[in-house]
Amino acid sequence: MLSVENINAELNTKFLARKIIYLPETSSTNTEAWKYIEDKTMNGSLIITDYQTSGKGRRKNAWSSFPGKSLTFSIILFAKDYSSKLSIFPLLTGISIVNGILSSIYIQTGLKWPNDIMLSRKKMGGILIESKLLDNNPVTVIGIGLNINEQIVNFPNSIKNHATSLSIYSKKQFNRERILAEILNEFEVMLYKDTDEIITLWEKNCIHNNSCVSFHSENKKYNGIFQGIGEDGYARIKINENIKKFSSGLITL
Ligand code: BTN
């Protein structure tokens, strides 16, 4: 079982996760987080569970998690103060996860555009960012799911070939609170970095930068060379000598 005390012991943030709502079981931490959006004192709060029973993924997919093995959590941000960064929240979140895992357990993970955390070319985590306007101000819920101590038998058959966990990769068990706290410590630092720096860091950690990729967007499939991220946060893909920009899509490596 996750311990809020152990999370606090490793946190060195000023405002992030200074309020923690721990739920032994819930349908989705993102859904839970939206219940608090009228309460401005919840800025930076963390909602976390040991067992997410109906997790939401991107593109209307489900996110499955095995009880007590993973990290499934959401951060509430009243994003007015960071509105210039809204479009790069997925990038900023991805780098915080990669850096947090590296500094806590010395495993190098990588990023796949737009929102995947990768380990030996398999998916070990994902990010679901949901935003709404409340009285004309953006409110954002950043949902993160990370496979930490799962074994292959804990994954549903449908994802067994494409998913991995830190434990499957290293054959070790990890302290989830320590990894979480390091990710949150990194996240708060990233919030104050310039967009240029975040983009450069993201590209450095991307596992397919300057490589050939297959790309699906709006029911079309393209083959091209991934050429990093523009200032607007859009992916740049070179297709037949022309650079095309995409705000969303799905990359196959
Ligand atoms: C994806 O790769 O499709 C994104 C997965 C995001 C899953 C996390 S788990 C915590 C939070 N609550 C949810 O219901 N989803 C996100």
| Tens place of pLDDT per residue across the chain (253 aa) | 999 999 999 999 999 999 999 999 999 999 999 999 999 999 999 999 999 999 999 989 999 999 999 999 999 999 888 888 888 999 999 999 999 999 999 999 999 999 999 999 999 999 999 999 998 999 999 999 999 999 999 999 999 999 999 999 999 999 999 999 999 999 999 999 999 999 999 999 999 999 999 988 888 898 999 999 998 889 999 999 999 999 888 898 8
Structural contact between residues 134 and 77, judged by C-beta atoms closer than 8 angstroms: no
State the pTM of this model: 0.97
What's the pLDDT score for residue 23?
Answer: 98
Residue 126 CA, ligand 1 centroid: distance in Å: 6
What's the pLDDT score for residue 84?
Answer: 83
Rounded Cα–Cα distance for residues 12 and 3 (Å): 17
What's the pLDDT score for residue 179?
Answer: 98
Residue 130 CA, ligand 1 centroid: distance in Å: 10
Residue 144 CA, ligand 1 centroid: distance in Å: 5
Q: Which of 26, 65, 144 to mutate to test the pocket of ligand 1 (most atoms within 8 A of CB)?
A: 144
Burial 110-142 (b: 16+ CB within 10 A, else e): bbbbbbbbbbeebebbbbbbeeeeeeeeebbbb
Q: Which amino acid is at 231?
A: E
Q: Please name which of 230, 180, 202, 229 lies closest in space to residue 95, comparing C-alpha atoms.
A: 202
